[in-house]
């Protein structure tokens, strides 16, 4: 089974990215924020910006 080799992944403070990836609620927040802004809200602005014809 598992025989941990020396991989440099030893003790010490938890790396920042690892902390981020270990935080489900932060990831949930980002995962909802990004598409809501970049796709949904931007898309609504695009539609709303279509001018009225003559």
- What does the binding site for another protein look like in residue numbers (CB under 8 A)? 2-12, 14-15, 17-18, 21-22, 24-25, 27-28, 30-32, 34-36, 38-40, 42-44, 46-47, 49-54
Q: How far is the CB of 12 from another protein (least distance, A)?
A: 6
Q: How far is the CB of 46 from another protein (least distance, A)?
A: 5
What would the two tokens of residue 10 be? 């030893």
Q: How far is the CB of 17 from another protein (least distance, A)?
A: 5
- Of 32, 34, 30, the C-alpha closest to 21 is 30
C-alpha 9/C-alpha 7 separation (Å) is 5
What would the two tokens of residue 2 be? 């598992």
């Amino acid at each position: 089974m598992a025989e941990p080799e020396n991989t440099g992944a030893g003790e010490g403070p938890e790396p920042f990215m690892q902390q981020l990836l270990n935080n489900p609620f932060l990831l949930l927040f980002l995962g909802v924020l990004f598409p809501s802004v970049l796709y949904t809200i931007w898309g609504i602005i695009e539609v709303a910006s279509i001018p009225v014809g003559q």
